[in-house]
Amino acid sequence: MTTASEIPALTPALTPAALDTLNQQFGHPGRIDFSLDPQGLVLVQLQFEQHKASFYLQGAHLTSYQPAQCEEVLWVSSCAVFAPGTAIRGGIPLCWPWFGAHETLHDRPQHGFARTGMFEVREVEVAAGYTRVCCALVQLPEFDEWLSPDKTAGVMEMLVDICLSTDLAVSVSSRNLAAAPVTVGAALHTYLRVGDVGKVIVPELKDLYYKDKLRGYEQRRQDQPLVVEAEVDRVYLAPPARVTLHDPLLKRDIQLHCSGNNDLVVWNPGADKALAMKDFDDRGYLNMLCLEPALALTNVIELAPEEIHVLRMVLSVSAH
């Protein structure tokens, strides 16, 4: 295990010397490698046996997960923008410390500030059974309500733990550093790559209640297995700990084992909204479905001082 007691905050683009230092301190050739993408952002590549994953230090944003002898699991738009301060369309954006639009302050960014914030590596492990990296959000928010009274620190500590073994585990840990309770929302906004979104099935959604954003968050019941024929934007309430996406075209099942969530968000923009988004493939909606363990809408949580909450998801893939 490699840890850091005092590491300077990173910027989205590093000098070659700083990148070398990062690899010397935390890199393990063939298991954990740090590099710069063509846009100069720091990319972390993980490997365990023949399983691979990669994420950016900006946003601790996973953009690839490829288990051994399987096709890519995560969907990333071919029009996605990779640039400092810009959210990447696809992969697993981290929505934190709120999900969606801010409830009261409408000038706040969609899905919070973590997905475009800078993270630094705090700890790595290269073990017989897994490869693991733990990162901390170090970029201070621009909003006074999320800063300490002296504006030198945030009121919350956010740690992201990414562990690759024969599956992929992602967890977001939130700790209240303030002297008063703090309300937190979050989501692991997981874009899953599918063969044909109209043919996939998520059987565990049947019989669940959901709030439909397309109908003013009207609450409804899912009487039949979900069939995606148009735009879908729903928050399923009290989901089971495990949900499975059956994909007949890619001949695989993707299982999500989740904990720490009160909801499961299901999203596909449909044809019209895909066309309207500059960073979304015009026909990309046909090959993706978001399944997102979340603390959304009224199901956010209040953390007492020093209280910790962990939102966790494990992705595993099996072939038919």
**Cα 180 off chain centre by:** 27
Please state, as a whole number, how many other Cβ atoms lie within 10 Å of the Cβ of residue 271: 13
Three-state SS for the chain is CEECCCCCCCCCCCCHHHHHHHHHHHCECCCEEEEECCCCCEEEEEEECCEEEEEECECCEEEEEECCCCCCCECECCCCCCCCCCCCCECECEEECCCCCCCCCCCCCCCECHHHCEEEEEEEEECCCCEEEEEEECCCCCCHHHECCCCCCECEEEEEEEEECCCEEEEEEEEECCCCCEEECEEECEEEECCCHHHCECHHHCCCEEEEHHHCCEEEECCCCCCCCCCEEEEEECCCCEEEEEECCCCEEEEEEEECCCEEEEEECHHHHHHHCCCCCCCHHHHEEEEEEEECHHHCEEECCCCEEEEEEEEEEEEC
Is 145 a residue of the active site? Answer: no
Determine which one of 61, 111, 120, 292 is catalytic. Answer: 292
| H-only helix segments in 208-316 | 270-276
Is 189 a residue of the active site? Answer: yes
Q: Is 44 helix (H, G, I), strand (E, B) or coil?
A: strand
C-alpha to C-alpha distance for 17 and 6, rounded to whole angstroms: 18
Determine which one of 51, 61, 111, 189 is catalytic. Answer: 189
Q: Is 276 helix (H, G, I), strand (E, B) or coil?
A: helix
Under DSSP, the state recorded for 79 is T
Cis preceding-peptide flag for 97 (omega within 30 of 0): yes
Report, as residue numbers or ranges, the catalytic residues. Answer: 189, 292
